[in-house]
Structure 1
Amino acid sequence: MKQLLFLVVLMVGFFNTQCKEDDSIESNTCDFTILVDEEAYTKGNFEGLNILDASIEADCLQVTFGASGCSGTSWEFQLIDSGTVAESLPEQRYMKLNFKNNEACLAYFERTVSFNLLPIRVKGSHKIQLHLEGVNAPLTYNY
């Protein structure tokens, strides 16, 4: 009886982990996720780095930035969205790259990282303009 009960529980657990056709599968190919937080957006440290390039590939925002340092391995950074959506066509979002650099060397390093854009999609829309501080032109995210 215990073996039969164990087998039934095992089968139920297996079937509950299977994907349904209508399940959405999120992209896990980006390096980091975006923090959506108005307070962090206004209080963060956004100085000390140069954004060299930004582009959108699939559901990832790729950002190349540079700063002084010894190696760049201890840099701390996070992309922060203001949480505000400008109601226009297309809708617009505003972001900054929070940056902390404790490296006191004069060398200059560059780094490219990507951020998952899925959390900032706007329901009912398939296109938004992204304004990243330090980038002159807005980026268009089509989804």
Structure 2
Amino acid sequence: MNYFKLKIVIVTLVGGLTFSCSDNDDTTKTANCDLTALISADQYANAPSHTVTINTLEIDNHCLKINYSSSGCSGDSWEVKLIDSGEIMESNPPQRTIRLSLKNEELCEAYITKEIRFNIRNLQVEGNRVVLNITNADQQLLYEY
């Protein structure tokens, strides 16, 4: 390979790396999410529903950040899921119903607070916004995208 061709290959590689690390890359915006929201009528109805208190909810870059608490020993064995019922209510804006599922088999009296972030891109509907009704928090959030 001559020097000129090698220079083109290097420029192409560097250019590709520059574009993949761009601030405009949507995949990096959800890189800080811990888990992804599930859409399942069956899991919405049947997933564990141990006692959980939702303290705060915040949407940040397609991630729903949930600060929550429950009793337990350490919270290390907790299994947490964000589950959508699969139904979209026709309103303006459209609405979805979700819940935080907690499986907690720890038998201690400590009260533990944790935070988790769920990627909620898959909850988007036609248009640019949807209301998320969080049933076990008795709250609504407007998700705009």
Q: How would you bin the TM-score normalised by the shorter chain? A: 0.7 to 0.9
Q: TM-score, normalised by structure 2?
A: 0.79
**What is residue 53 of structure 1 aligned with on the other side?**
56
**What is residue 142 of structure 1 aligned with on the other side?**
144
Q: Point out the more displaced range, 40-49 or 76-85.
A: 40-49
Residues 1:104 and 2:112 are matched in the alignment: no
Contact 1:54 1:135 in 2 (8 A): no
**What is residue 38 of structure 1 aligned with on the other side?**
41
**What is residue 65 of structure 2 aligned with on the other side?**
62
In structure 2, what is the Cα distance between the partners aligned to 1:40 and 1:55?
Answer: 23
Q: TM-score, normalised by structure 1?
A: 0.80
Of 116, 119, 133, the match for 1:116: 119
**What is residue 94 of structure 2 aligned with on the other side?**
91
SS in 2 for 1:47: coil
**What is residue 131 of structure 1 aligned with on the other side?**
133
For structure 2, the 5+ residue unaligned runs are: 1-8
The Cα shift of 1:47 comes to 2.8
Letter paired with 1:103: E
> How many aligned residue pairs are there?
133
The Cα shift of 1:136 comes to 2.7
SS in 2 for 1:90: coil
**What is residue 25 of structure 1 aligned with on the other side?**
26
In structure 2, what is the Cα distance between the partners aligned to 1:40 and 1:82?
Answer: 8
For structure 1, the 5+ residue unaligned runs are: 1-10
Contact 2:34 2:118 in 1 (8 A): yes
In structure 2, what is the Cα distance between the partners aligned to 1:62 and 1:25?
Answer: 18
RMSD: 2.6
State the identity %. Answer: 33
Q: Which has the higher helix share?
A: 2
